[in-house]
Structure 1
Amino acid sequence: MTRIEIPRSLSTSSIPICVTIAGSDSGGGAGIQADLKTFSALGVYGASVITAITAQNTKAVTAVHDVPADIVTAQIDAVFSDLAVDAVKIGMLSVPETIEAVAAGLVHFGKPIVLDPVMVAKSGDRLLSPEAVSTLRERLLPHATLLTPNLPEAACLLDCEVAENEAQAIEQGKALLAMGAGAVLMKGGHAQDGGNCTDLLIRDGVPPFRLTAPRIATRNTHGTGCTLSSAIAAGLAKGLSMEEAFAVAHSYLQGAIISADRLHVGSGNGPVHHFHAMWS
């Protein structure tokens, strides 16, 4: 029998592991599904803790069922008691009980946590109650190695107006740092900045690190926020610095958006192409 040698790079001991704690998107474009696709595309093993089940497609969300907090806790216990997790990405947490369960489960984690505060719908409607926002701000935000709000979400966390320019975005990012986040990525997709989109990585003691990219003319942008935050988590799991992980994730997302129209999924706002570098 011929012996098959497993390349060192593929040995189980060297595979970084990320866990996504988020809601399930039945349409496959965002949430848990987008996170796991992103992890796989970037060479990271993905595990999951599902916090909510949504009925949705490219056109609408028609139902949401929050997973009971004790089941969320049981998933965290099961995954973290067995897997050597290198980084965590947190997405949709819609009720205070779930936020409390996640905060309690990660209190002793001690490795990178990327918190994407899914709080405001594209319509501008707030997805979380004031109580849930307060719980997220007080219980989970201080555990975040990186917080990745878009401009409306940052305003919601700070209970202020949405930033209208880069100076205001930087100011709000620093205010979120003061709340306990290790670093803040102010995503500029909602900014009125002509044909460009600028994201700002804000940390204490260093100037903001900005990456700018042209806006892509496509309506297939479902899951961009989930994809960016999970791509950063994948980079951190690999041992990249925050700046390196952000740069790699930013480039990956741009490729996924540019290639989105190669996919023909649904009749509404379709997903980005997570496997753009792999599929012909």
Structure 2
Amino acid sequence: MTEEMMRFEKEIGKKALWKGAVTVTFKKWQRGEKIYDQDKERIGILVPEETKTRWQDFTNNNNITTISKLIRMAVDFYIDYSLKTPTERDFAQLSYDLKESLTSIKGFSQLIIEKFSNELDPEILLRIKEIYNQSLLLENNIKEIQKDKETETEIYDILIIEDDAPTIMVLTDFFELKGYTCKGVLSGTKGLEELNRYTPKLIILDVILNDISGYEICNKIRSNENLKEIPVFYITAIPESEVVEKLKKTGANGFFLKPFNFSQFEILFDYL
């Protein structure tokens, strides 16, 4: 039996020789003809000529006999990889399990420290304190990872920086009915943190916040090379004359006075 025959039998799973004669299937394979089994179903795909050329070059350079085999290998690899890769649900369950165990470890170690520190050997007490501190550290790490996981995939159109939660809800409902996604934050600090993470298409900004003035936030936005082109609109209950004056100084695009009328927001759709 030749090396080619052995390769055929290994790849196709059929006999190259039968009772001393070369099989028809082997001859077809030599001629490059397609070979089908009764228990196999043909699947066809359409790809551009450029893609076919890339695949063909890859098969030639990597000793893969046919494009069909390359596709089968790629699909099998993808399925195996997907099965081994943890999903968000897996991660959430792992976080839950870890935090449950950490709660017990942290709670019991803290209890021992508070109630029995005077009775314990100093070295043992030191070890228990170390367990407690490490459990706190691990808990914080889990929280940070969860926070990153939650934010890394969050994409939206409008950032609403407003310290009144009902106002955020009303605005979010209005824009979502129009087909736009929103994210609301309840402080200027949170707003700036969010802008460091993600660049929205538009910002709706309350002027009077609990921590940082909306005017100051707008100044920061306009002085940032990555953010300065984002349209900013104030929403506020302060006198119109003051807002108009600050509008020019801070570079905001416009403002809406509370209580606002939803028809006023139609102008914003030109920016989205």
Smaller-chain TM-score bracket = 0.3 to 0.5
Q: Identify, as 1 or 2, the structure richer in strand.
A: 1
Structure with more of its chain in helix, by fraction: 2
TM-score, normalising length: structure 2: 0.34
What TM-score, normalized to structure 1? 0.33
